[in-house]
């Protein structure tokens, strides 16, 4: 196990090592069986393969059974596509447009795949990121017979690769897959190697604890190993990621950030867990990005601020540049294009303080617990008893997937849900009588913050929780929420609900 402390020492000389079968993308795509389980690298919309999926889409383009001129001329693909997190349009648009994807796991963030899922054309299931590696390694999630892992890398050897802008679950995918196809992308700098820290968890019941003793420690090296002989093809590619685009922080974002900062200032004084440092995670997205950026304004005394989360977004880069963040651990460099350029220009320096880990370490339940991470995630809606919907609009229409929100919300000693009090320009309250879908239960949610305030739910009964949460709702909805609570209270019980009207507010889409 390599634990080079000098970032430069983790960067290999050259991209292709040893006697490697370099082919073009179309040839590589022929190694993907029509009905294969195709594992792909990628997380946070970066580090995904680009050329082979496009070649597959090209090959399938004539295969549609739609009466068109070229019907039946192409490959008839029915792939099960498994990624670590969200990937680019080369997969979740191009392959969807040719009906090449039958199944998709466990997270997506593009309109084409999303529409196909909600129309029932693609069978989708979201999974916790921390357990996805085991799900594919030990079976039960997908059929791995004839499966292929298609992975973007900055360097490759006969039995190893170095991932590009994300690590995710790629180490588990190349272990589970029968064969491996690597895209070596020359637009992804070799210096990305300096960020990566790959650790492979053992097999239960003899699985050792993950030996990480601090959020910024390194316990592996940049290489992902796989069995010699699995490497089917290498394709030399170009092309940048199409990462997330964040909107500028809104007034509501900044008000939420202010409340969060105030709350954290009190909490770090109250609890012995934060005597020396605050370890924190933020969910992916524009609000999370804004909250990260604003955290520099909180007065944490002499405490170090440390990020232990899933993705590195631009807000964290700002904090690093300002000297306000000691270190960051994540599984993806999910930066904007501008953020990637800042990072690439000075990769070795950033790699002193930034570690990109495997997804089962970045999101490891045991590590979130041991490091005492404060989790801050957003949501679609929160109900009056603290149940949280993160995934399905109106209870049924999937957005992206549960991702890592469950890993952090469930295992953090302090779990915060931060969200604007309304959606749709004020037409929808995000504080609702009853969550139309539940991803995180009342047992896991400690604090809810909106632009209207902080509801500290710890130690409260459901009735007390409801009263606190009404005060975080938009004023326009508070009377109606109280009226709901009166109706529910009349039915009695520990957690009073009025099932006849609980969903009267829910947007039916």
- In whole angstroms, how far apart are CA 112 and each of 94, 115, 395? 9, 5, 20
331, 411, 421, 422: which one contacts its own copies (CB under 8 A)?
Answer: 411
Task: Locate 29 and state its tokens.
Answer: 């795509």
Output Rg (C-alpha) for the chain, integer angstroms: 23
- The stretch near its own copies (CB under 8 A) out of 167-175, 251-259, 342-350, 435-443 is 435-443
Closer to its own copies by CB, 68 or 461: give it: 461
127 lies in the site for its own copies, by CB under 8 A: yes
In contact, 308 and 275? CB cutoff 8 Å: no
From the CB of 436, what's the least distance to its own copies, in Å? 7
- Which residues does residue 375 pair with via DSSP β-bridges, in sequence order? 281, 415
Report the SS3 class of residue 57: helix
Nearer to its own copies, 253 or 360 (CB): 360
Nearer of residues 22 and 273 to its own copies, judged by Cβ: 273
How many whole angstroms separate alpha carbon 417 and alpha carbon 450? 9
Range 377-396, binding its own copies (CB under 8 A):
387, 392, 394-396
Cα distance between residue 196 and residue 7, in whole Å = 10
Inter-residue long-range contacts of 139-142, CB under 8 Å, 24+ positions, other chains counted: 141/82, 141/105, 142/37, 142/80, 142/82, 142/103, 142/105
Task: Tell the smallest beta-carbon distance from residue 324 to its own copies (Å).
Answer: 18
CB of residue 418 to its own copies, shortest distance in Å: 18
Count of chain residues binding its own copies (CB under 8 A) = 91
Residue 30's contacts (CB-CB under 8 Å, 6 or more residues apart) are: 59
- State yes or no: residue 146 binds its own copies (CB under 8 A): no
- Site residues for its own copies, 231-270, by CB under 8 A, read 270
What are residue 48's phi and psi, to 5 degrees?
Answer: -95, 155
The pattern of x and - marking residues 107 through 126 that bind its own copies according to CB under 8 A reads ----------xxxx--xxxx
Q: Is 310 a catalytic residue?
A: yes
User: How near is the Cβ of 141 to its own copies at its closest, in Å?
Assistant: 5
Q: Which is nearer to its own copies, 207 or 247 (CB)?
A: 207
Residues 308-367 that bind its own copies (CB under 8 A): 365-366
Binding track over 272-301 against its own copies, x by CB under 8 A: xx--xx-x----------------------
Q: Three-class SS of residue 332? A: strand
Spatial distance between the Cα atoms of 49 and 105, rounded to a whole number of angstroms: 16
What mask of x and - would describe binding to its own copies in positions 437 to 476, judged by CB under 8 A? xxxxxxxx-x-----------xxxxxxx------------
In degrees, to the nearest 5, what angle opens at C-alpha 149 toward C-alphas 143 and 150? 140
Going 166 to 169 to 174 to 177, the CA torsion angle's sign is negative
Task: Give the x-and-dash track for 199-238 against its own copies (CB under 8 A).
Answer: ----xxxxxxxxx-xxx-----------------------
421 binds its own copies (CB under 8 A): no
Q: Of these residues, 152, 175, 183, 310, which one is catalytic? A: 310
DSSP assigned state of 347: H
The only residue of 188, 193, 429, 436 in contact with its own copies, by rule CB under 8 A:
436
Q: How many C-beta atoms surround the C-beta of residue 67 within 10 A? A: 7
Tokens of 37: 């389980």
CB of 177 to its own copies, least distance (A): 16
Whether the CB-CB separation of 55 and 181 falls below 8 Å is answered with: no
Give me the active site residues, please. Answer: 310
């Amino acid at each position: 196990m390599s634990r080079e402390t000098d970032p430069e020492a983790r960067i290999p000389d050259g991209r292709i090592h040893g006697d490697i079968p370099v082919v073009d993308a179309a040839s590589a795509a022929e190694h993907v069986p029509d009905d294969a389980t195709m594992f792909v690298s990628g997380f946070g919309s970066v580090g995904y393969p680009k050329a082979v999926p496009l070649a597959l889409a090209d090959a399938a383009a004539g295969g549609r059974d739609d009466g068109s001129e070229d019907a039946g001329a192409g490959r008839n693909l029915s792939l099960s596509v498994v990624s670590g997190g969200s990937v680019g349009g080369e997969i979740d648009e191009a392959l969807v447009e040719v009906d090449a994807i039958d199944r998709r796991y466990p997270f997506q963030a593009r309109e084409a795949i999303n529409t196909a899922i909600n129309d029932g054309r693609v069978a989708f299931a979201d999974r916790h990121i921390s357990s996805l590696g085991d799900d594919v390694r030990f079976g039960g999630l997908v059929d791995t017979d004839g499966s292929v892992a298609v992975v973007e890398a900055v360097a490759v050897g006969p039995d190893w690769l170095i991932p590009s802008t994300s690590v995710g679950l790629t180490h588990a995918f190349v272990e589970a897959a029968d064969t491996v196809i690597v895209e070596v992308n020359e637009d992804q700098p070799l210096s990305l190697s300096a960020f990566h820290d790959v650790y492979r968890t053992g097999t239960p019941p003899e699985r050792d604890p993950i030996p990480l003793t601090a959020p910024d420690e390194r316990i592996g090296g940049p290489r992902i190993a796989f069995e010699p002989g699995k490497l089917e093809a290498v394709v030399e590619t170009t092309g940048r990621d199409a990462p997330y685009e964040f909107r500028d922080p809104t007034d509501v974002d900044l008000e939420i950030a202010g409340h969060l900062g105030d709350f954290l200032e009190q909490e770090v004084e109250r609890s012995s867990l934060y005597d020396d440092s605050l370890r924190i995670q933020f969910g992916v997205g524009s609000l999370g990005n804004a909250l990260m950026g604003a955290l520099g304004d909180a007065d944490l005394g002499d405490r170090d601020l440390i990020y232990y989360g899933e993705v590195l977004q631009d807000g964290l880069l700002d904090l690093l540049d300002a000297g306000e963040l000691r270190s960051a651990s994540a599984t993806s460099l999910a930066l904007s294009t501008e953020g990637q350029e800042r990072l690439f220009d000075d990769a070795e320096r950033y790699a002193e303080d930034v570690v990109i880990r495997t997804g089962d370490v970045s999101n490891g339940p045991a590590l979130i617990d041991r490091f005492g991470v404060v989790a801050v995630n957003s949501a679609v809606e929160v109900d009056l008893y603290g149940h949280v919907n993160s995934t399905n609009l109106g209870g049924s229409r999937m957005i992206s997937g549960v991702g890592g929100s469950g890993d952090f919300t469930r295992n953090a000693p302090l779990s915060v849900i931060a969200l604007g009090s309304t959606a749709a320009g004020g037409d929808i309250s995000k504080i609702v009588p009853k969550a139309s879908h539940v991803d995180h239960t009342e047992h896991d949610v400690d604090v809810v913050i909106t632009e209207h305030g902080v509801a500290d739910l710890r130690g409260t009964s459901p009735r007390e929780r409801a009263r606190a949460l009404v005060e975080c709702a938009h004023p326009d909805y508070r009377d109606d929420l109280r009226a709901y609570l009166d109706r529910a209270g009349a039915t009695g019980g520990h957690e009073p609900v009025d099932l006849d009207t609980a969903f009267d507010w829910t947007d039916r889409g």
